[in-house]
Structure formats: structure tokens, C-alpha cells
Structure 1
Amino acid sequence: MLYRLQSCLKYFAFLGLVPWTNNCRPCQCFQQIYSLFLIIINLMIFFVEIEIPLKDSLLLSLLVSTIVFVAKIVCMTVIMLQMMCRYKGYYILCKEFKRLRERFEVQLKMGALAYPRVRYIKIVMLGMASLGTLGCLIYTSFIASLIYFWSSFVALIIIRLQCVLLLLYVDLMGFHVQLLGKRIQDVLHCHSMGGGNCIPDGNCKQLCSLEFLLELKQSHMQLFELFSHFNDLFGWSILSIFVVMFMDGTVNVYWTQQVLAGVYGLVYLNAAFSFSVPSLALILAFCRSGEYCKWQNMLIGSYVRALAYNPSPQQAKEPAYTELLTEFTMQVEHNVLAINAEGFMLIDNSLLMSVCT
């Protein structure tokens, strides 16, 4: 599914978020040079702007602005450098999505699979809304002085769009985990019916067969490899994005207090909310998608344990089936399908509650 979206996603290459092509090595080298140019030009703009004397700003405000906007530029640099060094890894991830979908359709007999359009529209709308708030920031920057805003404008676009792309990838993975859970639930229902007449659509192989259980086990392992590759490919990007967005959500409390205290005009509230609200919304959506993957993984574990503890009478007499179920249970318990940011944090509701605390 992700492979099919490349005709649209390749335009994110203008911001260095995806590789433009997989086959043309000179094009990839040119894109790497272009990404380095974006990083260098943003650093140059920031160093030029920081040299401009600002007479009417508080020292603490200058310090806060410097920390926040430097963090944005560093985050943009991490995102682009990680993608520059991992072009091949990105296309390997796309191929893993493609192979997984083919396994579900052919081996697990789930028919033609299509990513729900409603979920896709929600992610697109969230991305458009996060970019739409930039218009308010631009308006505020013209009528009032936003310190270091223009030097981090490109970085802000890159961070938000990368977060939307990562949200799409995680939602796609959660969709596949859900499909696998439904298929294992079908097998569990077949066991509860006695295992006599459970046949997948258009196939003579029974759901309770040893071969079908092996296909389920291999599908879960392939999903785990997909999650591991995703965490390895985007781990540092996820970590840096969450740090910056958490700062956007909390530091703007300071700006709001300054406005309410009369230090700055009410127009600065537009900038405060335009920075913080999209950041908190993206954090919420990302954590919810990670929690969905975690919850579906827990459901898969409960289904597999139910299969192991309540086998059908026919399968209870087959030692090979029992041994494979035991191996499957151990695999599900040890190979957790979760979004991990380089071991620093798991992306789920517990992280969201930590942020709120």
C-alpha cells in the first residue's frame, strides 16, 4: 500500500523527507546535495538573524526563542540526515509493506486489501490543518516581530510534514496488525466450533490446519521485522520531533503569560496557539496510533494464548500442532509490535500521559 502511494509521496523529496527515485544513483546524489543545501542555508539565515540587535525584547525572551528555534533547526537536520543516509532502507520498508500485503492476500486468503479511505483522509486533513496554521504565523510575523521565525520557517514545515508522514506509516502498520488479529480470531472461532468445517474463502485448506497456523506465525514474524525496520529507520527522527513538539506545547505557556502580563500585545497569542495547538494535536494523533498498534498486539497475544489453552479435539492429538502453538505464543510475547524511539520511549498513551503530567 505504501508502495502504491510513492507516486504522490515522492514530491516530499523537495523537502528531503523521501528519496525521489530508487534506481537513479545520480539523482539520489543530487538530492543529498540539495538536502545539505537546505540545512546549510537555514543555519546561515539563523546566524545572520541572531546578529541583528533586538532592543525591545527581554533577555529571557531572547534566551527562550534561541533555545526553541535552535531545537527546530537541529531536529530538521536530524530528519534530513537520517533520510539522506538511509535511502535504500526506505525502499526496503516499502517492499516489506508490499510483501506483507501479498502474504495476507495469498497465503492467509484475505482477498484484495485496501487501506480504508476514511483513515487516509483523516491524516491528510490533519496535515493540511497543521500547515494551515502557518498562515497565521506568517501574518503575525508581518504585523509584529517574531524573533527568529523566518530562520526556522522551513524547519517548521519539514518537522510537521515528517510527523504526518510518520503518522501515515504507523497507521498502515496498525492496519496490518489489525488484519492479522482478525485472521487469528477466525482460527480461534474455528477451534471453538470443533474445527470440522472451517475453510478460508475459495481455498481447500482448513483454518485449523498446521500449515495455516505456520502461515500465521510467519506473518507475525514478518510484521515484527517491519516494526523493527521502521524503528531503526526513523527512531532518531521520532525522538527529535517529540522533543521539539513538546517544547512548542510547553514554552508557549511562557509567551501566553507574557501577553497576559502586558509585556507583549495580544497579537502574539496568535503565534503562541499556532505553534502549540498543531504540535499537541500531532503528538496526540501519533500516540493514539502507537497505542492502537500496541492494543492490537495485545489482542493477538490473547487470541494465540486462547488457542494454546483451548485446542480443538482434533488438534489436541497432534503434537506438532501443539508445539507450533507454544512457539507462536512465545514469539508473540517476546516480539512486541510497538513504536520505539531508539529505546528512549514507547509511542503510546503512557507517553501522552507523561507529557500531560
Structure 2
Amino acid sequence: MSEMRVVEISAPGGPEVLRLARRAVPVPGHGEVLIRVAWAGVNRPDALQRAGLYAPPRGASDLPGLEAAGEIAAVGPGVRGLSEGDRVCALLPGGGYADYALTPAAHCLPVPGTMGLKEAACLPETYFTVWSNVFQRGGLRAGERFLVHGGSSGIGTTAIQLARVAGARVFATAGSAEKCAACERLGAERAINYREADFVEVLRGEGGADLILDMVGGEYIPRNIKALADDGRLVQIAFLQGPKVELNLVQVMTRRLTLTGSTLRPQSDLAKARIAAALRAEVWPLLAAGRVAPVMDRAFPLEEAAAAHARMESSAHIGKIVLEVGSG
């Protein structure tokens, strides 16, 4: 096939700027594979890119879509360990909203156990993000108190499960009784409805959080610092309420706090390959055994990508939203 369907961003704006188009099927270069996409995950960075707030890195596809699952359609020079027909899920530099997508071979992972491609498409972006930030950067250990904001999101539902399996005491925030109940079913010791309770008071009452994973930012940042235990760590991965805030950093010094954070997409191919290798060794066995699993919200056909974005930006979802691209 020489052409494929894609979803383009016609101009910066709301979900309505996403449009179906046709482009040439890309050819894998050295160390790359071409994936015949069956399902593609929908994530917040896709919406930020669509709005003109998150430009793709140099050399990456301008199409949205940072994760997908499907079959290897072609392999580029220098690729070892992957062959045409292999079922994989993969972290993508972009381009997931299409029939075919390119990615470095080292960013591909096998579909765990008997999991379907629909569920596997929900793994890469969230699991790469949670593993690298909660465990590698945040250093979460058994017995520690862990707070994740946005507990019912794709990131949140993943973080709750992995932290629970690691032996941490897990706390989460969410915006409704339904979402809080979902967090507790996944293993949160307590889910805090932020419309009804102050997470700072709850965590301080437990001795403070040893680690907080936050994607809200804004006025949450000084509150997170108050909620931390002495020697606690705050890991920032997004800023839904904005990145700028006035802070009194005396607490950071006197209580020996650590403020850090990261974004996944701009990291080097080698850094992402190392995260993939760690996931394959440490987390993929948990997925294959059913000890952790993606939480699914809703699926949309590729041509309804705008509706998928509207669903995500409504914050009504619990878990992951996916696009059905091909069969699988």
C-alpha cells in the first residue's frame, strides 16, 4: 500500500481542527520499524499539540499520536529481534493517528500475555511515564506514602496499580464519588474528592506524602509542598493549571524536600530505550500475570478523533481512550 489514512491537525485549535486525510506510507530508516496500527492511544499531549502548545520534536511526525499497537509491517536496516508480523505496542515520536506509524525498534514492546491489541495500545505512554517518574526519578519504595493527582486518568490508574504492587500506601485525588470509587477499587487506600476535602489536611494527618506525582500544577504546587513529609519528593509531569506560581522555598531547605519533574517526548531515543528495557524486565511480567492492567474508558473510530479529544478534555473519562484504526 502506498497511501494511508491519517488524522491531521489542520490549524491550532479545538477538537474540530482534526481532519481525516491521506498521506504516503512512510519507509523505516536505520533502526526503525513500520507498524500497521490497529489501535492508537489518546493522551493529553495530543490535545496540547492540537492546540498549538506542544510542538513535536525536530524530525518527528507532525501527526498526533504517541502510542499504538499493531503488527510490524516492515523493518529498517539494523533492526534485530523484530520481524514482520510481530504483534507489538510501542511508544511513538508522533504519528499514531494513522494506518501506519514509524518508531525506533527499541521503543517497541511485545503485547503482554494474552492481552488484546486494543488494551496494549493503552500501555506505552502511561507506563513509560509512570515507571520513569514514580520509580526511577521519584524512587518510590515499599511502605512509603504515595499521592497521585488525577487518580482516575490513564496516568493515575496506572500509578495506583504499580505503586500498590510495589508495596506503597497509595492515596489519590479525583473529582467525583464515581472516580474516587474507581481509584479505591484499583488499590488506593483513600481517594480524596478534591471538591469536598483538602488533600493537604488528609496527607498531613497521615504523616505527609513521601512522594507526590502531579500533573495539575498551578496552585497545587505550594499545596503539594505542604502535603509532603520531611525528605519528601514532588515529581511534576504536566501543568493543567499552569506552570507559574509564587513559592516560599524555605520549606524545601528546612525539610529537605526534592522538587523534580520530566517530560517524556523530548528525551533521547536512548533514554526511552532504557525505559523500555526496564519495563520489559520489571513490569511486563506483572501485566502478563494480570496483576496490573490498563483501565479502559471508551473507543472511537479513527475518523472520530475529534470526539475522542472532546471526551478527554471533558475530564468525564475514567482510564484510557483509544482510536480504532485497523483490525485487531
The structure whose Rg is larger is 1
Q: Give the TM-score taking structure 2 as reference length.
A: 0.24
Q: Give the TM-score taking structure 1 as reference length.
A: 0.22
In terms of fraction of residues, the more strand-rich structure is 2
In terms of fraction of residues, the more helix-rich structure is 1
